[in-house]
């Protein structure tokens, strides 16, 4: 009796230690407020959409970064991603191809693209498929300008998607997941929770269950994509969503899906829907 | 020949005499280090911005020598005291002989 009581006491003590230990792990996300150029106020923390099970609050990747990295995004002059935006603005106004058209010929000022980024990716009735911003850009190039499409993750493509994202900065992400988009969303959700690679990690392993904890010298974020395209200090250029997905899947030591392929399209819709309510930040700055 | 090189400078438009102002400069540049090889194994020659200077009304404010291992799109932020109205001249020298300049005037009251 005495021994078993002692045993039980040790067990309780051990449980308490574990619980206390977990509670005291410092997580990385802060409560700083993101205001760009002193005027565009961003929502970086808000309640998770009702259809997301694993988390209560959605948090932009910005809150997981150091103060120094955060500051780079708060002023467009310090945000090197704006260099890509400038380059894309030139491309927007450049007349090219046999049709002698620029983007501006049809769309006028790029400010006409306001709100576009908030609903991407979306179901395209005509094509009967899920289209990303990149698909729409390339469709304009091949069908209207009659020029070669850009590579899905190429520099000019990512710059152009940054230019279009900038028009919606500060607006909440609001992708549709019902109606014809529903099957794509389901497929994306399936992928999100599927473990891949030698390390057997799913998106959720890191970005749902371990957000805020360390992964080697870095902090895991929730993997939100409201800030894309994102300027990474690591490679000093703008990075697209599918290029980032590819990097993540590769890090699980798996053969990756193809950027621009159907798997990443579905995953993009699902991940975007997890961030519905966060502000469009693109181009953001991350490490 | 570096392509897509574009200097950007941010200087306050006005200041009071003797004020210390913050100047930010950024130039888009590939900063090819000279350490990399192309897909055929040939060395890619170095092509970087090697010097940066800032002058105010002909007087040097700061200058910097840049060497390898400075990353893409070099950014400088520094402070200067402005005694009078005038013009800042910013100059970047490229390995390929190109010279990029930008000027900003400031009104001092």
Query: Interface pTM (ipTM) of the complex?
Result: 0.77
pLDDT tier, A37 (very low <50, low <70, confident <90, very high otherwise) = confident
Q: What band does A22 get if pLDDT is binned at 50, 70 and 90?
A: very low
The CA dihedral of B15, B17, B20, B21, to the nearest 10 degrees, is 20
Q: Supply the DSSP string of A216-247, one letter for each residue.
A: TTEE------TT-SEEETTTTEEE-HHHHHHH
pLDDT the model gives residue A8: 52
Instruction: Work out the average pLDDT over B31-47.
Output: 91
Cβ of B75 within 8 Å of Cβ of A87? The answer is no
In CATH, the number for domain B6-108 is 2.60.40.10
Mean pLDDT across chain A? 89
Q: What is the pLDDT of residue A19?
A: 45
Phi and psi (nearest 5°) for A117?
-65, -30
Rounded percentage of chain A residues whose pLDDT exceeds 90: 77
Q: Which residue has the tokens 């950007």?
A: B8
pLDDT in the model for residue B1: 55
- Alpha-carbon distance A225 to B30, whole Å? 27
In the predicted model, what is the mean pLDDT of residues A56-69?
92
Mean pLDDT of chain B: 90
Res A21 pLDDT > 70: no
- Domain ranges across chain B: 6-108
Kindly report, residue by residue over A205-222, the tens digit of the pLDDT: 999 999 989 888 889 999
Is residue A18 over pLDDT 80? no
Residue in B closest to A236 by C-alpha = B72
Model confidence, pTM:
0.84
Q: Is the pLDDT of residue A282 over 90?
A: no
End-to-end Cα separation, chain A, in angstroms: 58
Report whether pLDDT(B60) > 70: yes
- The pLDDT of residue A53 is 87
For range A271-283, the mean pLDDT: 93
Q: Is A68 on the interface with B (CB under 8 A)?
A: no
pLDDT at site A5: 54
pLDDT single digits (tens) A140-199: 999 999 999 999 999 999 999 999 999 999 999 999 999 999 999 999 999 999 999 999
> Does residue A65 surpass a pLDDT of 70?
yes
Q: Is the pLDDT of residue A103 over 90?
A: yes
Interchain contact A38–B (C-beta under 8 A):
no
Residue A80's closest chain B neighbor by CA?
B73
Residues 6+ apart with CB under 8 A from B91: B51, B52, B53, B54, B55, B99, B100, B101
Per the model's pLDDT, the better-predicted residue between A1 and A121 turns out to be: A121
Interchain CB distance below 8 Å, B4 and A78: no
Mean pLDDT of B51-66: 93
pLDDT level of residue A4 (50, 70, 90 thresholds): low
User: What mean pLDDT comes out for the span B86-99?
Assistant: 93
Distance CA A110, CA A160 (A): 10
Tokens of A275: 């961030």
Residues of chain B positioned with their CB less than 8 A from the CB of A86: 6, 28
Neighbouring C-alpha atoms within 13 Å toward the C-beta of A217: 1
- Report CB contact under 8 Å: A78, B75: yes
pLDDT of A14 over the 80 cut: no
Cβ neighbours of B6 in A, within 8 Å: 83, 86
Span A120-146, mean pLDDT? Answer: 94
Is B54 strand, coil or helix? strand
Mutate to test the interface with A, among B33, B72, B90 (most CBs of A within 10 A): B72
Report the alpha-carbon distance of residue A71 to residue A79 in Å, rounded. 9
CA–CA separation, B76 and B64 (whole Å): 10
Residue of A70, A29, A42 lying closest to A286 (CA atoms):
A70
- Would you please indicate which residues of A are annotated as catalytic (active-site) residues? 248
Q: So what's the pLDDT on residue A7?
A: 55
The yes-or-no verdict on residue A28 having pLDDT over 80 is no
Residues A169 and A282: beta-carbon distance below 8 Å: yes
The pLDDT value recorded for residue A17 is 44
Half-sphere exposure of A8 (CA within 13 A, CB side): 5
Any B CB within 8 A of A71 CB: no
Rounded-to-integer distance, Cα A61 and Cα A69, Å? 11
Instruction: Name the residue among A77, A78, A83 with its Cβ closest to that of B28.
Output: A83
pLDDT digits (tens, 9 = 90+) for B63-92: 999 998 888 889 999 999 888 899 999 999
Which residue of chain A comes nearest to B73, CA vs CA?
A80
With cut-offs at 50, 70 and 90, classify the pLDDT of residue A263.
very high
Q: Which residues of A touch B28 (CB under 8 A)?
A: 83, 86
């Amino acid at each position: 009796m005495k021994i078993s009581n002692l045993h039980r006491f040790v067990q309780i003590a051990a449980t308490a230690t574990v619980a206390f230990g977990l509670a005291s792990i410092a997580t990385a996300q802060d409560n700083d407020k993101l205001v760009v150029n002193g005027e565009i106020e961003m929502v970086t923390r808000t309640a998770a959409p009702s259809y997301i099970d694993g988390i209560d609050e959605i948090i932009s990747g910005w809150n997981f970064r150091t103060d120094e990295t955060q500051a780079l995004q708060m002023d467009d002059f310090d945000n090197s991603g704006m260099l890509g935006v400038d380059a894309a603005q030139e491309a927007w106004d450049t007349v090219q191809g046999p049709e002698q058209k620029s983007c501006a010929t049809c769309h006028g000022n790029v400010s006409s693209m306001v709100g576009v980024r908030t609903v991407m990716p979306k179901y395209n009735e005509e094509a009967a498929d899920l289209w990303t911003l990149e698909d729409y850009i390339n469709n304009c190039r091949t069908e209207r300008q009659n020029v070669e499409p850009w590579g899905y993750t190429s520099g000019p493509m990512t710059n152009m998607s940054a230019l279009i994202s900038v028009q919606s900065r500060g607006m909440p992400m609001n992708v549709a997941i019902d109606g014809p988009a529903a099957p794509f969303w389901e497929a994306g959700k399936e992928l999100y929770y599927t473990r891949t690679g030698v390390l057997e990690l799913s998106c959720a392993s890191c970005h749902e269950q371990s957000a805020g904890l360390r992964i080697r010298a870095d902090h895991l974020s929730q993997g939100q994509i409201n800030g894309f395209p994102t300027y990474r200090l690591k490679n000093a250029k703008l990075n697209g969503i599918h290029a980032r997905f590819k990097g993540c899947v590769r890090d699980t030591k798996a053969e990756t899906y193809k950027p621009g392929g159907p798997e990443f399209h579905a995953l993009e819709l699902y991940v975007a829907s997890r961030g519905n309510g966060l502000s469009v930040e693109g181009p953001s700055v991350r490490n | 020949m570096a392509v897509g090189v574009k200097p950007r400078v941010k200087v306050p438009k006005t200041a009071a005499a003797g004020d210390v102002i913050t100047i930010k400069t950024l130039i888009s540049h590939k900063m090819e280090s000279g350490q990399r090889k192309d897909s055929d194994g040939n060395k890619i020659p170095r092509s970087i911005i090697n010097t940066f200077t800032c002058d105010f009304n002909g007087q040097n404010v700061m200058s910097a020598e840049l060497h390898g291992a400075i990353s893409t799109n070099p950014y400088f932020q520094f402070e200067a005291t402005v005694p009078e109205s005038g013009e800042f001249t910013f100059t970047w020298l490229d390995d390929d002989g190109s010279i990029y300049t930008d000027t900003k005037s400031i009104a001092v009251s």
